[in-house]
Amino acid sequence: MKILANDGISQSGIDALTKNGFEVITVNVAQEQLVNYINENEVKALLVRSATTARKELIDACPGLKLIGRGGVGMDNIDVEYAKSKGLHVINTPAASSASVAELVFAHLYGGVRFLYQSNRNMPLEGEANFKGLKKAYAKGLELRGKTMGIIGFGRIGQEVAKIALGVGMHVLAADKFIESAVVPVILATGDRIDVEIKTVNLDELVKNSDFISLHVPAQKEYVIDATVFSKMKKGAGLINAARGGVIDEVALVEALDSGHLSFAALDTFENEPKPEIKLLMHDKISLTPHIGAATLEAQDRIGEELASQIANLLK
């Protein structure tokens, strides 16, 4: 039985699938050629990440498909309910990348409070001629300890962010429409463990009282953070989005940064992927990454192995 991992899969995932008798194809087929490739090669399972889409048209045109799998959490690039209505299995890996995304949030956050995103741009240009000037420009950094981290969306990834924040010594506020409270285990490398219960608050309370806000929500029809929400945030706050493009009004974000109301923002996802707006890419108060939240070797191994396990259970 052939499986097409069109956006790639870890070697551990390939090994696990091969061991269970599946043939894994890892060539990257262009979206417009995907239907023909699936049908001509009698592919039974299509695995995607964020690049490839599996919409109604593809599902209708590929009657031999039995399964569509998403390596990651969000499945907004798959017509999930329609696929299920046609008898296809639709799977994802909701837990595999949580720690990786949370660590990226703090990579951006540490970079934001110490101006690393600006310093790394300007040191190669001015470091030799204007060392003292740059030192003065970046000499008003902040510590995270004692600050308040606001987490919008308190599922698996949001709770992983909370673990790191608690370990750093931050206060944590969380908002979630579906979760009233969660016990977050902070586990040290020594094996010592502290369980911390966090009760969620409403969005307004979180926005008004957070020094930094991180988003961990699925794709939305409307903005979660728009001009009205920006106006309620603390002056000098920072904002991180490693969730989905389209949950932040990017025009309002630029205005909040330009006015000085926000001190910095960090974006791993964008409304217009894979061609983010140039105003975002060139803005000197935005830390940027190209949608790499789950892109660690450890996460990709976990994703591949979790997909392999589910596929073996469903298709063998």
Cα separation, 228 vs 243, whole angstroms: 20
DSSP 71-138: SSS--TTB-HHHHHHTT-EEEE-TTTTHHHHHHHHHHHHHHHHTTHHHHHHHHHHHTTT-HHHHHHHT
291 catalytic per annotation = yes
For Cα atoms 96, 304, 315, give the angle at the middle one, nearest 5 degrees. 110
- Cβ neighbors of 109 (< 8 A, separation 6 or more) are 144, 212, 214, 238, 240, 266
Determine phi and psi for 44, rounding to 5 degrees.
-100, -25
What angle separates helix 98-113 from helix 156-168, to the nearest 10 degrees?
A: 40
Tokens for 13?
């995932």
Scan for tokens 């969380």, then name that residue.
Answer: 174
Residue 82 · residue 65 · CB < 8 Å: no
Q: Is 267 within 8 Å of 286 (Cβ atoms)?
A: yes
Which one of 49, 156, 291, 302 is the catalytic residue? 291
* Residue 49 and residue 70 in contact, taking contact as beta carbons nearer than 8 Å: yes
CB 269 within 8 A of CB 73: no
Selected catalytic residue, list 255, 271, 273, 277: 273
- Choose the catalytic residue: 49, 156, 216, 244: 244
What DSSP assignment string belongs to 229-245? HHHHSPTTEEEEE-S-T
Residues annotated as catalytic (active site), given as ranges: 244, 273, 291
